[in-house]
Structure 1
Amino acid sequence: MSDTDPRARPDRALPLHDLIQARMQERGWSYSDLERAAGRALTRGRWQQLGSGAPLRKFPDPGSLTVISQVLEVDITTVVLAAAQSLGLDVRQQGADLSSLLPDRTERLSDRMREAILALVRAAVAETLAEDGLEPARSDALRGLRLEWPKTAAPSGPPPTEDSPDDD
């Protein structure tokens, strides 16, 4: 990816055409497939227009944004920001967007698993703030949560030591 490639700029929203193209590529879909998945609410020609990279002249209507969100299986905010970026608005994300790093279907996690992941992230943030001297260390960052994974998911071999070479 080049520096001018919008996907190389994680602080900016993807333009709508890049979002559409990325989802099409992931699924091996054509514009006709998008039209079918949309129940013909957006035509093949409209999908092609949105996915071509041609500058948008106006913001898509709310119904179209909703259809795009549903078909691409991304949240409506992502689609709205992508459309705004395609209109030439300088749409920047505030801070790191952890949600963009999460794999597809994360929304299917159980409430218990979601809480465990959030507790781990909160503990990591608290530890980082403590290391930076911004907040005192909190021993209750995990609030008594005990994280367990099946032994089959555990890494094999001994844990790395400080003198282990990096895999970078």
Structure 2
Amino acid sequence: MFMQLYLSPIGQLLLTADDTALVALRFYDAECSCLSSDDTACNDHVILQAARHWLDVYFSGQEPRFMPPLRPTGTDFQQDVWQLLMAVPYGKTTTYGEIAAALAARRGIPRMSAQAVGGAVGRNPIPIFIPCHRVVGSGGKLTGYSGGLERKQFLLSNERIDNSTLQCDSGLNTLL
């Protein structure tokens, strides 16, 4: 594994890649205190270079027109949810219910639990790249985010999404 810290407007991000793909992004101040001895800090790894470039474009307020290779690890259900998250356009939001309905349709079943979808969204190992920040609760509730609601609000604003009309629902912070 190759790791590198990226200094962003929302704090340090710890990028983790293997030889072929980005596998994780963590909010460094929230989850990590050091690199393990099995990990290599590397500024020159091609996957990390691509991820840094994508983040540079993204944080400049522009939509990146490319994506570094991603390989999130999770269950089949989580993978399906994360694939749907990748389809949410830059500058747009969706709800847990809309994702649940799309997943139910894709699987040919009558309905899917929005709470189950929320659990999968909250386990997204590559936030920002897999845009879980674009998911809001029903009625426009601004629900929790693994990096905190302040970061979620920043990311939405960065994409020019008017989040002033979204209602903060900090009671659901544990969902994401």
User: Please, what TM-score do these two structures have when normalized by structure 2?
Assistant: 0.27
